[in-house]
Structure 1
């Protein structure tokens, strides 16, 4: 993967720059075609997640990569014409027209952002002498929409906020799954209507505010006016209509207007109407005790833009490319070991898939998927990948890595493990491999291949034995990915377990 070009720290990326970045990836035909199908799905999911977060530039770049991978690169794969390969390729290709149409509208937005930035820069140059630009390597995911800027946060320092975001996204997805009548085209249509949906939310907030304001004013009316109505019914001209007092106690004569009214027992008649100026004061006093009607302009408030966040890269690869933070549920390893215990007792390896979502430029592992697999003492290979594909599509998940046991060995990545990890990391730079060795210390570890030299070395290697040497020393092929040295952060997150064994 080529490095991102240098640029001013606050400058948005242009359409051309985003397009060029989208095309900067390595396509390796020697990898199995199903791995590239999975890679295309990961790219598509990431694009939809970024678009849902409002990060239009990054979504545009990922959609560009998806189109190039499906329309051009996959067609050159040696296995593309096999009968079993065509159905999945057809599924990926069906998305292309809708994506291209969506990208055209995104292009207009990105051009507008860039033009507004240029206008702001020209105004600044006219008003003050040009200063030396601050140049840095920019992650395209941080190329902000200047119409709705966001806050760039450190993931490790804002763990609680990250957990809150993950929980909200989980709830949103579950609600969306319940409401959606069809899963076949729902995601792309959501992306096309994202801005309309945001406007609908704002309108709903406006209506809720107006309804609440109207209710408050109605309550204020019912609270303030009874005393006024009671006084209004008592006028001097209407005195004959008053109820007659008992015969034994005739009503006293009306006192002069300038003299204060004598007090009367409640059983005789209601109190007299106060003077007009006192009526006004009473009205003001009564109203001052009730909710005050807001000014007219407050009836239709303009809600503040939704607060947007993005997490900056946690670490960088050896080649300088940024990699995002991964939030790993603390309970995941314990739950996986409980499922793998029967195999562990028999000395057989077992694996699971780490799936999740990209939320605000950070990766959250939300699901542990146990696939059908063939297990031996030194290997575990997945089967029925169509079930995995279907599940991830249904839940809108991307595969972030994998976990497996070493029931009879220490905690390390074998040659076979590194080859498996390379197939993940070629699709997603942040991908991780978790190894659990219950009988040894350390009993577990989280790893990633170095890039370079680890990932290129694995991709060019053609050996298949579980334990074979490489041209690069073993201690340079992979590194610890767990904090503080790496980009993986343990957090108190919920994890769902899906066991696909025996489903087909």
Structure 2
């Protein structure tokens, strides 16, 4: 499954039609249990919210459209969709989609406007290039300089702002900035979440409002029949697009034996009670559109320059003959020079981290940042189990910031262990905690007390459940008594993901007759250890 999409371009605005085409380009396998798809849909929702907050309209629209296809057209046809509890869950998910459709109608004109500005700029530049070619080398230097100034002013919009794509950063070369950006953004989000809760909003209502994009009663005044009609039409278009795409693939799909489209392997348990079920019993909020944010006030620059008096030299300290044992006071330090521009904290809306690796099928992988101290902390927690030759596991949780994933929480779930296995218990508590804290599950970490550092067949099947939900998910294996003592891995795709998904072997440990089924995610890969990155340990064990 490839239900999560990366930004398709670097500063090149796409049209709505191009975004829709990319949103449709994902693999759906009904052999994957419905609970995994529901968790994946919930993750897509969280990603869309963050991209929206960061001003990435294109990626927000893509994820919302993909979520709509998944819920409206795919999951309703899933073999497990007719089970009574699942019917209620899907009904709650459809309500979320209906709210998203109105939001998508708001995004469309902004996406079209950005693309129109870009095309206009490119047309201006082509004209300038042609003029340069026509005049040959006559006064070339001066003309280039003049045309550069014309190009700069031609980028100005009618509303006075400039079209400026976010700066793309290399993860490996901007680690200090990445750590500072993560600290600022995580603290900002935590502060906002605490403020909401202090205002008396219940956790259930908070999640309902967050996912639905509703934060007050003003949506009643903005609900119009025209908008609802457009949202309904968009809903129908989404379903028709999915059916058309499936019709093209039908011939190929039927040629695959049914045994290869499902697996008898019992995946690691994901709680049946998804976030949609948490919202299923809540009263529906009135439909409508959120109001547009007012434009930021622009303070015009002034000609005023502060004038400071000259710094006087320090007075000479005269030592009295009666107090020769006293030391002179310290000389005051120099007044720092005034900067021409005030220093600013890095903002998530200003940057995008470029993908740092790709799957074998060509899909880009966003960078995953984690603290190098995380393994040390985890091994200290697992030490008592390790001495008893028992495995220990933890869950890597975090968030999305500037198109990169940051591990900010190490959650130790309730679990039961043997020398070769570790099973999580009460997973509902884990996922309810993640939903309450707006966390994404980015992977897992576990020990091999006596074995070497590798991914067993059991580990591969367990990790497949994580990577199905998010392509960037990682598995960290710690083998403290061996060399190497640790590693960070992911399944290859292909052939690893398909092999494990289609595996029908029932034994706890078995061989997969495929080479290159998993690979290192760290050297080289999409994972970077980020010194100074803060994280918290949450131990849910009794």
SS in 2 for 1:196: coil
TM-score of the two chains, using structure 2 as the length reference: 0.66
Partner Cα distance (2:358, 2:131) in 1 = 32
2:166 pairs, out of 145, 150, 158, with: 150
Partner Cα distance (1:366, 1:339) in 2 = 17
2:528 pairs, out of 489, 494, 498, with: 489
Contact 2:54 2:349 in 1 (8 A): no
| Counterpart in the other structure of 1:185 | 208
Q: Does residue 1:451 correspond to 2:503, yes or no?
A: no
Matches within 5 A, 1:423-434: 423-434=465-476
Q: Does residue 1:388 correspond to 2:430, yes or no?
A: yes
Contact 2:370 2:528 in 1 (8 A): yes
TM-aligned CA distance change 1:469 to 1:190, over 3 Å: same
TM-aligned CA distance change 1:22 to 1:436, over 3 Å: same
| Counterpart in the other structure of 1:103 | 104
Partner Cα distance (2:110, 2:182) in 1 = 28
| Counterpart in the other structure of 1:71 | 72
Partner Cα distance (1:110, 1:70) in 2 = 24
Q: Does residue 1:499 correspond to 2:515, yes or no?
A: no
Partner Cα distance (1:2, 1:115) in 2 = 29
| Counterpart in the other structure of 1:260 | none
TM-aligned CA distance change 1:174 to 1:499, over 3 Å: same
SS in 2 for 1:129: helix
Contact 2:46 2:438 in 1 (8 A): yes
Partner Cα distance (1:396, 1:8) in 2 = 27
Q: Structure 1 unaligned runs (5+)?
A: 132-144, 217-304
1:390-446 Cα deviation digits (max 9, x unpaired):
111111111111111111211100011111222222221111000111121111110
The higher-RCO structure (CA 8 Å, 6+ apart) is 2
Contact 2:365 2:472 in 1 (8 A): yes
TM-aligned CA distance change 1:71 to 1:467, over 3 Å: same
Partner Cα distance (1:5, 1:488) in 2 = 16
TM-aligned CA distance change 1:370 to 1:3, over 3 Å: closer
TM-score of the two chains, using structure 1 as the length reference: 0.71
SS in 1 for 2:174: helix
Contact 1:401 1:424 in 2 (8 A): yes
2:293 pairs, out of 184, 196, 201, with: 196
Offset at residue 86 of structure 1 (A): 4.3
1:145-183 Cα deviation digits (max 9, x unpaired):
983421111011000111111001111121112111342
TM-aligned CA distance change 1:382 to 1:194, over 3 Å: farther
Partner Cα distance (1:448, 1:122) in 2 = 44
Over the aligned positions, Cα root-mean-square deviation in angstroms equals: 3.3
1:318-337 Cα deviation digits (max 9, x unpaired):
12211111101122112222
1:442 pairs, out of 484, 492, 497, with: 484
TM-aligned CA distance change 1:430 to 1:9, over 3 Å: closer
| Counterpart in the other structure of 2:517 | 477
Structure number with bigger Rg: 1
Partner Cα distance (1:471, 1:160) in 2 = 43
SS in 1 for 2:22: helix
Q: Structure 2 unaligned runs (5+)?
A: 133-160, 216-288, 307-346
Moved more, 307-316 or 156-165: 307-316
Partner Cα distance (1:41, 1:105) in 2 = 22
TM-aligned CA distance change 1:347 to 1:94, over 3 Å: farther
Partner Cα distance (2:183, 2:365) in 1 = 23
Offset at residue 63 of structure 1 (A): 1.2
Partner Cα distance (1:7, 1:354) in 2 = 27
Partner Cα distance (1:328, 1:196) in 2 = 34
Contact 1:447 1:482 in 2 (8 A): yes
Partner Cα distance (2:489, 2:22) in 1 = 27
Contact 1:70 1:92 in 2 (8 A): yes
Partner Cα distance (2:365, 2:376) in 1 = 26
SS in 1 for 2:130: coil
Contact 2:348 2:401 in 1 (8 A): no
Partner Cα distance (1:149, 1:108) in 2 = 18
1:462-502 Cα deviation digits (max 9, x unpaired):
223232112312xx11111114x111111121111222234
TM-aligned CA distance change 1:372 to 1:445, over 3 Å: same
Partner Cα distance (2:208, 2:386) in 1 = 42
1:378 pairs, out of 420, 433, 450, with: 420
| Counterpart in the other structure of 2:127 | 126
Count of residues in correspondence between the two structures = 391
TM-aligned CA distance change 1:169 to 1:464, over 3 Å: farther
Partner Cα distance (1:3, 1:352) in 2 = 24
Contact 1:150 1:310 in 2 (8 A): yes
SS in 1 for 2:103: helix
Partner Cα distance (2:442, 2:354) in 1 = 18
